[in-house]
Structure 1
Amino acid sequence: MSEAVRRIVVRRRSHRAEAHHGGSWKIALADFMTALMALFLVLWMISTATPQQLQGLAEYFRTPLNVAMTGGDRSTASTSAIPGGGDDPAHAKGEQARIDLRDQTRPAETQRQFLELQRRIESTISADDSLRELRQQMRFDVTPEGLRIQLLDTDPRPMFHLGSDQVAPYMRELLRTLAPLLNDLPNPLSITGHTDSVPYANGERGYSNWELSADRANASRRELITGGLAPEKLLRVAGLGDRVPMAGSHPGDPVNRRITLLVLNEQAARRIRAEGEPAGRAPLQE
């Protein structure tokens, strides 16, 4: 009888590494957390910003990226191969389109300059012990025409002597302090005088609020120039009497006795200068 051949079977456990799942989810999570943090930062900035800062921020994001990078009103803002975005830059239509494009891309930088000027004025006034109290009589806002600075009267502290254009000492000091700060920007300046609705005894037949408002505007002009304002920056000096009261005020309120300094943007200055140009002739009919 033959012997049975014994087979020896060796069983070895296989140690195979598990398939790697990849790390793409980590990248996606990191991107999500970064975006979420950026969102929270933006919400926090918006909740703490002033209306003027929000307006400047909005204008910043309206500026095309290529203009923001190259600066100014470069023709790179246009995707057209023709400069100016018009049919032909040599024609009136093409030139007007170029001007319109420039007007749309400059406001962001102008807004930032106006807000910076306001910040410098406020810090200068606040740092001066003799002028600090007058900060409550100043109003700043950015209008479609530029940065408007209003100097308001109060009964305890009027800017001018009653019924005259004689400047009070603190008003004189304030105007002379503002003068070099207004020189920091090349923008032209408009000065407007306003009065309350209290009439003179003779009404408007003689010396009236019209003359008083204009005289006070010119008295302010003289003080600004004495303080160092460049005379060529002045584009308009006018008096509006009591015709434009402060919003929400009674026509006889002291706040309507005020001087408005308007740092003009380019568009507003262009409109004022155009008032002196002759009217164009109507095109001939073919």
Structure 2
Amino acid sequence: MEHHEPVIIKRAGRRHHEEGHGGAWKVAFADFMIAMMALFLVLWILQVSNQEEREAIVSYLNSSSIFDQGSSGNPFDSSPGLSPIDLGGDASDLSSHDAAQTITSFFDGNGDGKESDALIPGQFETQEQLSVLAKVVEEMAKQVSAQGNVMVDVTPQGLRIILQDDYKQNMFSRGGDDLTPFFEDLLLAIAPVFERISNQLIISGHTDSTQFKSRFSNTSNWELSTSRANVARQTLIAGGMPEQRVLQVAGMSDRALLNTDAPRASENRRIELFVLTTPAAQVLDALFGGERNNELDKAQQQAKFNQPVLRRDQASAAGTDS
């Protein structure tokens, strides 16, 4: 019987010239296309926007996040407004937004001395007491990284606290009263100060000289500044300030510009909180028909008593008695 060896046939697979490349080039090409689209989008925005709109875009990007609830994280969500690009945002719902920072150092008394690092409840009247209060406000602004947006000034009538815009941050949406998250956190942070002190407070809103324009309403800068001041009041109350602390809410429009050389400058758009001393609060209360000052009443009665009595007045009085 013959021995047959098995026949082994080797077949080589066909080689394709595409096998050496793989799919990595597709990922790189996709990244390149995304970068080009972003570049073209930036160039388009620079072409169609003016300087004020560019500043508004920068301010929105610095003060908003895609993780914010609602439509504030999406600048292209046109549902709340008529513009295809909404630069404002919806941060007015205080129930769904908490302050980013918690200020405790000035209320716990955890420093070296109680006079300098703890805010003692009560009425602040003297210049020294107001200076301590000013340092508290400045330190709180520092803790929320708002040093450039807060100005504090001690005056004979009280403490003046200015919360203003800058080239990075806008307090409100352009032409609206929607408070941005950055300044909402700032107001919520300083609200406990007005819970501790018993001084009366004036809240005033200010705009720049740019006239308010709306196709569907007759609203002017007067209504806009008043509405913004009231939103600041509501935010402070939500942060813990008693409602009775506020003596007056006023809208000043553009009648009190900080930068008169540049009427449209960002620092002119601001909210002012004026902490009144007791004499200043009494003068304001008497000016608007509140309880009259006792000394003023006494002086008025004394002046009336010292007036000369005319004979005809006596005769008319006698005729009335008869």
Normalised by the length of structure 1, the TM-score is 0.56
CA drift of 1:252 comes to 1.2
Of 203, 228, 251, the residue aligned with 2:263 is: 251
Q: Which residue of 2 aligns with 1:221?
A: 233
Structure 2, unaligned runs of 5 or more? 1-122, 310-322
Q: Which residue of 1 aligns with 2:242?
A: 230
CA drift of 1:202 comes to 6.7
Of 197, 200, 203, the residue aligned with 1:188 is: 200
Q: Which residue of 1 aligns with 2:136?
A: 120
Amino acid at match of 2:130: F
CA drift of 1:266 comes to 1.4
Superposed CA RMSD: 2.5
Matches within 5 A, 1:93-112: 110-112=126-128
CA drift of 1:184 comes to 2.4
4+ residue runs of structure 1 moved beyond 6 angstroms? 278-282
Q: Which residue of 1 aligns with 2:169?
A: 157
CA drift of 1:144 comes to 3.0
CA contact (8 A) 2:152 2:161 kept: yes
Amino acid at match of 2:157: E
Q: Which residue of 1 aligns with 2:151?
A: 139
Q: Secondary structure at the match of 1:183?
A: helix
- TM-superposition CA deviations, 1:182-204 (whole Å, max 9, x none): 2222111100000000012379x
Structure 1, unaligned runs of 5 or more? 1-105
Percent identical among aligned pairs is: 37
Q: Which residue of 1 aligns with 2:251?
A: 239
Q: Which residue of 2 aligns with 1:101?
A: none
CA drift of 1:177 comes to 0.6
Q: Secondary structure at the match of 2:175?
A: coil
CA contact (8 A) 2:207 2:253 kept: yes
1:210 maps to 2:206? no
CA contact (8 A) 2:141 2:150 kept: no
Q: Aligned in 2, Cα 1:270/1:199: closer, same or farther, shift over 3 Å?
A: same
Amino acid at match of 2:161: I
How many residues align structurally? 175
Q: Aligned in 2, Cα 1:202/1:226: closer, same or farther, shift over 3 Å?
A: closer
Normalised by the length of structure 2, the TM-score is 0.50
Q: Secondary structure at the match of 2:262?
A: coil
Q: Which residue of 2 aligns with 1:92?
A: none
Q: Which residue of 2 aligns with 1:7?
A: none
Amino acid at match of 2:164: L
CA contact (8 A) 2:158 2:277 kept: yes
